[in-house]
Structure 1
Amino acid sequence: MDSLSGFATVDVDVDGVRVHARTAGSGPPVLLLHGYPQTHVMWHRVAPVLAKRHTVVLADLRGYGDSDRPADEPGGAAGDAAGSSTHAAYSKRAMAADQVGLMRALGHERFAVVGHDRGARVTHRLCLDHPEAVTRAAVLDVAPTRHVLHHVDLALARTYEHWFFLSQENDLPERLIGSDPGGYLRAKLDAWSAVPGAFDEAALAEYVRCFSDPAVVHASCEDYRAAVTVDLALDDADAAAGRRVEAPLLVLWGARGFVGAAYDVEAVWQEYAADVTARSLDCGHFLPEEAPEATTTALLEFLTP
């Protein structure tokens, strides 16, 4: 995309997993992580402005975009029946370790991290597993996975039905999405957004290109299968041990989206983090694309206090 033309492309091997990323700018490092069903391109309206003050790294999560799609554990190549998998290959612990390895390979031992949607869940786990690496963190339009799964109700089931569809322990989600991946992706973006015309056509084309790969569809399903199994178990263990995010945490959400309607977002995150700054923005789920200026301003204020 033209807006990211000044960003260099890097591909880093992290313990056998190739992580695809773009980087630009100078100053304190910040890692930006995308959500479902997108790629690092979702930051195209935010990253160039942040790069005027920061060294910005945009990464594709494992399984998404142009990063590797590791085989399931144990056995089975991507695309095999999901029932044979433990889903650990797509745990947020594994995804967070990828990103720490990427940043270290780029020379950043300590950095800020900002995540949207699935990337926010990776950000949460990164803060818990690698607190020494995180200077500041921001999570966009999520409640913690553990809170969501322990408070399932009709509203969640109707709005976030994909959590339960994608996590099915068979290959049915892959088969159904695979019949029209571009149509499925566009339907989800439309359902979760609140600002008409928010998505750049070039960005949409990039999302569709990547999501049209059956291995990406399978990996994204494994991401959600991990959420309701291995991720939840890890989150429950952390909660029982009293572990919380210790780095300063910015929580942003869309005032016209499900998260803001369903949860007292600030109060929920205060149970999971020690130092929370929280505010809503006038948009739906996709803050960096629906409200890029407000998102960028909030991030800059938080990242450069």
Structure 2
Amino acid sequence: MFEGFARQRIRIDETTLHVLIGGKGPPLLLLHGFPQTHVIWHKVAPELAKDFTLVIPDLPGYGASQGPVPDTAHRNFAKRNTAGIMARLMTRLGHERFFLAGHDRGGRVGFRLSLDHPERVLAFAALDIVPTLAVWEGMGWRQALATYHWQFLAVPAPVPEHMIGLDPDFYIDHLIERWAGDATRLDREAREAYRVAFRDPKVIAVACADYRAGASTDVADDAASRELGQRIGCPVLALWGRYLDEGVSVLEAWREWADDVREVVLPCGHFLAEEQPEATASALQGFFSAQT
């Protein structure tokens, strides 16, 4: 995986990031989601690297990155804090303005990065999510059952950490089988990388901290931004799999936050970059190339 990419460890404040860098052209920051690592991009990176300089980190505390210590105020893993870390990473690498794509939790970091640092983001692609407030405010009982992990992972420590830690391989496989349209499309090597990552209790704790922030601090930050009328100024692509059901229209949810929004729907489940890599790469290339 990622042949020809350089691997670096870059210290940003209390975080040491594991980062892959490769390709040529304008910079494109790729952010993964839960329950995965940078490995989600392994099928699309070779194609995107033809046109873009790719920066592919493990998010703080995920994979091979070391993150700050989870805190009781749920600020260290709030999307605002993580977005700031990503902005400083791109500055460290010499990229003052860049394209941005985020899947799942990485998409939520991208949302906050686009709001808080509008001068930095040229265009933003959100993969298989709607904004956090839209999820919570649109959650009926059917969505609550379908997305039970939002509530489960946000339960105070140490309950979810203990339960996941008893058999992390089972839990990762459970999530992949639950969310994928066709789980066989995910490579065995990739799935094993995700299992290995979550065998580390520190990674489990970070994932829970991430979701606790998503049920508290992130909600407060997003609500404040909405009250202030803060909007995403750059073009936005909502790229999602047809099985996504958050109880709201994906396109309309993003139009609540941005004026220039377009969508692409793929015939797959949650893991677009692995289930439909050619179509995902094509959609991202077309979207970002149009902004150059």
User: Do Structure 1 and Structure 2 share a fold, with TM-score over 0.5?
Assistant: yes
Task: Provide the C-alpha distance between the structure 1 equivalents of 2:60 and 2:6, rounded to a whole number of angstroms.
Answer: 19
CA distance in structure 2 between the aligned counterparts of 1:20 and 1:100, rounded to whole angstroms: 15
Is 1:132–2:133 an aligned residue pair? no
Q: Counterpart of 2:263 in 1: which secondary structure? A: strand
User: What's the TM-score once normalised by structure 1's chain length?
Assistant: 0.93
User: Which segments of structure 1 move beyond 4 Å, counting only runs of 4 or more?
Assistant: none
- Which residue number corresponds to residue 224 of structure 1? 211
- The alpha carbon displacement at 1:140 in A equals 0.5
Shift of 1:196: 4.0
Alignment of 1:202-281 (within 5 A): 202-259=189-246, 262-281=247-266
Q: Is the 8 A contact 1:10 1:21 kept in 2?
A: yes
Q: TM-score, normalised by structure 2?
A: 0.97
1:234-285 Cα shifts (integer Å, max 9, x gaps): 00000000001111101111013334xx321111110111210112111011
Match of 1:17 in 2: 15
Deviation string, structure 1 residues 168-210 (Cα, Å, up to 9, x no partner): 1231000000000011001101100112411101111111111
Q: Which runs of 5+ in 2 are unaligned?
A: none
Counterpart mapping for 1:112-127 below 5 A: 112-127=99-114
1:109 Cα deviation after fit:
0.7
Distance 1:139 1:114 in 2: 6
Mapped contact 2:169–2:198 kept (Cα < 8 A): yes
User: Contact (CA 8 Å) 2:238, 2:251: kept in 1 or not?
Assistant: yes
Task: Tell me the distance in 2 between the aligned counterparts of 1:190 and 1:87.
Answer: 29
Structure-2 residue corresponding to 1:57: 55
Query: 2-side partners of 1:186 and 1:131: how far apart?
Result: 37
Q: Specify the SS of the correspondent of 1:251.
A: strand
**Aligned pair partner of 1:284 in 269, 272, 286:** 269
Q: How far apart are the structure 2 equivalents of 1:264 and 1:19?
A: 35
How far apart, CA to CA, are the structure 2 residues paired with 1:278 and 1:251?
Answer: 5
- Residue in 2 aligned with 1:67? 65
Matched residue SS, 1:131: coil
> What displacement does 1:72 show?
2.3
TM-fit CA distance, 1:29:
0.4
Equivalent in the alignment of 1:76: none
SS of aligned partner of 1:19: strand
The alignment partner of 2:216 has SS state of helix
Q: Which runs of 5+ in 1 are unaligned?
A: 74-84
Give the Cα–Cα distance (whole angstroms) in 1 for the partners of residues 8 and 262 of structure 2.
Answer: 32
Equivalent pair of 1:257/1:283 in contact (CA under 8 Å) = no
Structure 2 matches for 1:76-87, cutoff 5 A?
85-87=72-74
| Residue 91 in structure 1 maps to residue 89 in structure 2 | no
Rounded Cα–Cα distance in structure 2 between residues aligned with 1:251 and 1:178: 34
Which range moved further: 6-15 or 37-46? Answer: 6-15
Structure 2 counterpart of 1:193, from 175, 180, 185: 180
C-alpha RMSD of matched pairs (Å)? 0.9
Alignment partners' CA distance in 2, 1:299 and 1:66: 26
Contact kept, 8 Å, 2:134 with 2:248, in 1: the verdict is no
* 2:33 counterpart (32, 35, 38): 35
Equivalent position of 1:298 in the other structure: 283
Distance, in Å, in 1 between the alignment partners of 2:269 and 2:95 is 32
- What amino acid sits opposite 1:36 in the alignment? F
